[in-house]
Amino acid sequence: MKKHLLQMIVVLAVMALLFSACKPAATPTAEVEAKKKVAMVFPGLVTDQSWNQFGYNGLTKARDECNVEIAYSEEVFQDEQLETFRQYASAGYDIIIGHGGEYGESLFTVAKEFPDIEFVFQNGTKTDGIPNVTAVKLSYRQAGYLAGVMACEMTKTNKIGQVVGEWIVISEEAKEGFEKGAQTCGKTVELKSVATLNWADAAKAREAALALIADGVDVLYHTLDTADAGLLAAANDEGVFAIGLMTDQSKLGPNAVIGSTLISPEVMTYKSACGDYLDGGVHAIDAQSGGVDVALTALLSEAGKEHVLKVLEEMKAGGVIEP
Q: Is the pLDDT of residue 32 over 60?
A: no
CA distance 317 to 255: 33
Q: What percent of the chain has pLDDT over 90?
A: 83
Residue 154 has pLDDT above 90, yes or no: yes
- For β-strands 68-73 and 257-263, DSSP reports them as unpaired
pLDDT of residue 323: 80
Query: Is residue 30 very low, low, confident or very high in pLDDT (cuts 50, 70, 90)?
Result: very low
> Is-above-0.85 flag for pTM?
no
DSSP 8-state secondary structure symbol assigned to residue 102: G
Residues 170-221 pLDDT 10s = 999 999 999 999 999 999 999 999 999 999 999 999 999 999 999 999 999 9
As a whole number, mean pLDDT of residues 119-140 equals 95
CB distance 38 to 44 below 8 Å = no
Helix (H, G, I), strand (E, B) or coil at 30: coil
Q: Using 50, 70 and 90 to split pLDDT, how confident is the model at 3?
A: very low
Q: Is 267 helix (H, G, I), strand (E, B) or coil?
A: helix
Residue range 1-24: average pLDDT? 42
d(CA 154, CA 160): 10
pLDDT digits (tens, 9 = 90+) for 216-264: 999 999 999 899 999 999 999 999 999 999 999 999 999 999 999 999 9
**186 to each of 155, 176, 181, 182, how far by Cα in Å?**
12, 18, 11, 9
DSSP letters, 155-221, are -SSSEEEEEESS-SHHHHHHHHHHHHHTTSSS---EEEEEE-S-SS-HHHHHHHHHHHHHTT--EEE
pLDDT tens track for 85-114: 999 999 999 999 999 989 999 999 999 999
Superfamily classification of domain 140-263+287-316: Response regulator (3.40.50.2300)
Q: Matching CATH topology for 36-138 and 140-263+287-316?
A: yes
pLDDT of residue 20: 44
Q: For residue 290, is pLDDT > 70?
A: yes
> Domain residues of the chain, as ranges?
36-138, 140-263+287-316
Residue 33: pLDDT band (50, 70, 90) is: low
Residue 35's pLDDT band (cuts 50, 70, 90): confident
Q: Contact 72/59 with Cβ under 8 angstroms?
A: yes
For 48-59, what is the mean pLDDT?
A: 94
* pLDDT confidence band for 76 (50 / 70 / 90): very high
Cα–Cα dist 176/179, whole Å: 5
Beta sheet of 133-138, edge-to-edge order: 68-73, 36-41, 95-99, 118-122, 133-138, 282-285
Task: Classify domain 36-138 by CATH number.
Answer: 3.40.50.2300
Over the stretch 263-289, which tens digit does the pLDDT of each residue have? 999 999 999 999 998 999 999 999 998
Residue closest to 278 by CA, chosen among 33, 18, 38: 38
